[in-house]
Amino acid sequence: MMNVLIIGSGGREHALAWKVAQSSRLTKLYTAPGNPGTSLCGENVLLDVSNHDDVVRFCKEKQIDLVIIGPEIPLADGLTDSLSTNSIRCFGPSQAAAQIEASKVFSKNFMARHHIPTARYATFTRLDEALSYLDHVDYPIVIKASGLAAGKGVILPDTLEESEATLKSILIEKTFGDAGEEVVIEERLSGQEVSLMVFTDGKSIAPMIPAQDHKRLLDGDRGPNTGGMGAYAPAPIFTKDLLNEALDSVLKPAIDGLRSEGTLFVGVLYAGLILTENGISVLEFNARFGDPETQVVLPLLETDLLDIADACVDGNLKDINILWKNDAAVCLVLASKGYPEKVEIDKPVVFGELPENVICFHAGTKMENEKVFTSGGRVFGLTAWANDIESAIDDVYSNVKNVSFDGMQYRKDIAYRALEGSK
Ligand code: AMP
Ligand code: GLY
């Protein structure tokens, strides 16, 4: 039996808490800081997760057997290392291993060292060198701040002027602060994107169901990029052959490569893949569960998540058999008016009754006087799972009426690509 602490406060953490709460091995679940959704699955605790001593003290006091870290910042900050030093078991990579996400320069150089397919690139700290490089490339480019920038550090410029202005703003004006001390300039690729996450103990890997998310604000993949307006799994475009190819050419070499460099990666490794005319290429690695992908992947997981996390931390992943439902899941993000620019918050939320195969994961909400109010841009991930993707889409959209707040906006075409793929 286990006491578990989940770190984080978004839709991903509500999905994690919801899944962990179903475990027959759970004694008590805490989420720090959590949200009104996680408070339905366990107890929320107000901990400053950047204060590692406080987290360690809490874990000792409450006899926490396992910590699960959701977001990238505590990982990049070395929370896993602080917990491990104090003999507290943690599902999530060390600071050194989390560099695969926290530093795009590290990540690109690592991929080059281990022959993992990725776009051609160069890295710069000096503006003059970056600008003169632009004169030498004869293909469209993407500019990325190397450090963590909450998903905003990737710019796809359309003209030379835009590229120059972007480089100046990152390297000189420091738009992304320290995250922009170094930049990656890489070739712009085209194709469909797939999110493939694997559980790993640092030696073996176990893939989750591949997912696709919808990053643009508006229907038909138009409008500005967002943190994600919805997701679905499985992704029919990602065939069994492509999955095996990705495991052999990307995920296994990444885990083996890190280990060969003296860094064991324990937790979830997420590969953001693009399916180009010339094959699979890696856009990014994340050192954690994806959001919103986790909201569609965990409802499809049959096996107890605590059994998997435990096996990863103990280095026994190969001994467990992970089972998945033969279903499909769809997550529709319900966002505030004005998202992703200037959002309107503090709106009261009214809930109706949801069927058993639909859950409303909280992301940007808060509780005041026992009532739920909106507190962020992406407020909920309304998620349904069913025998097939068509039914899951129907179940999500027919239940939108059961969650309402002033100014609510959402896309009307989440998972439409999967339908096209299955026809
Ligand atoms: P990243 O955080 O590196 O995954 O980038 C965020 C998003 O920017 C990706 O999901 C892609 O949609 C886009 N992107 C990143 N790198 C490239 C690339 N080399 N070519 C085309 N699009 C890219
Ligand atoms: N859905 C993309 C991410 O979690 O970074």
> Is the separation of the CB atoms in 13 and 6 below 8 Å?
yes
Query: pLDDT tens, 83-141?
Result: 999 999 999 999 999 999 999 999 999 999 999 999 999 999 899 899 999 988 888 99
Residue type present at position 119: A
Alpha-carbon distance 99 to 32, whole Å? 23
Q: How far apart (Å, rounded) are the C-alpha atoms in residues 210 and 214?
A: 14
- Residues at CB less than 6 angstroms from ligand 2: 151, 213, 228, 286, 290-291, 293
pLDDT of 159 > 80? The answer is: yes
Edge-to-edge strand list for the sheet holding 141-145: 121-124, 183-187, 141-145, 154-155
At residue 409, the pLDDT reads 97
Mean pLDDT over 36-49 rounds to 97
pLDDT of residue 172: 86
Q: What's the Cα-to-Cα distance from 133 to each of 78, 122, 167, 252, 342, rounded to whole Å?
A: 34, 9, 11, 33, 35
pLDDT tens column, 238-290:
999 999 999 999 999 999 999 999 999 999 999 999 999 999 999 999 999 99
* 275 and 258 Cβ atoms separated by less than 8 Å: no
Please give the CATH topology (third level) of the domain spanning 2-92: Rossmann fold (3.40.50)
Q: Omega of the bond prior to 340 within 30 degrees of 0, cis? A: yes
- 120 HSE (CA, 13 A, CB side): 8
Whose CA is closest to atom 5 on ligand 2? 290
Candidate from 291, 331, 378 with most ligand 2 atoms within 8 A of CB, to mutate: 291
Give the pLDDT of residue 31: 98
Which atom number of ligand 1 is nearest to the Cα of residue 153? Answer: 2
Q: How far apart are CA 328 and CA 384, in angstroms?
A: 8
Q: Note the pLDDT of residue 421.
A: 54
Three-state DSSP at 295 gives: helix
Q: Residue 189: nearest ligand to its CA?
A: 1
DSSP classification of residue 118? B
Cis peptide before 234 (omega within 30 of 0): yes
Maximum Cα–Cα distance for the chain, whole Å? 61
Q: Where in the chain is the domain with CATH 3.90.600.10?
A: 328-419
For 120-187, the fitting CATH number among 3.40.50.150, 3.30.1490.20, 2.40.160.10, 2.40.110.10 is 3.30.1490.20
Residues of the chain with CATH 3.30.1490.20: 120-187
Q: Supply the pTM of this predicted model.
A: 0.95
Q: What is the pLDDT of residues 327-336, one digit of tens each?
A: 999 999 999 9
The rounded percent of the chain whose pLDDT value lies above 90 is 87
Domain with CATH 3.30.470.20 in the chain: 190-319
Taking 70 as the threshold, does the pLDDT of residue 146 lie above it?
yes
CATH architecture of 328-419: Alpha-Beta Complex (3.90)
Counting from 1 in the atom list of ligand 1, the atom nearest the Cα of 119 is 19
In CATH terms, 190-319 corresponds, of 3.40.50.300, 3.40.50.10540, 3.30.470.20, 3.40.50.1220, to 3.30.470.20
Nearest atom in ligand 1 to 188's CA: 20
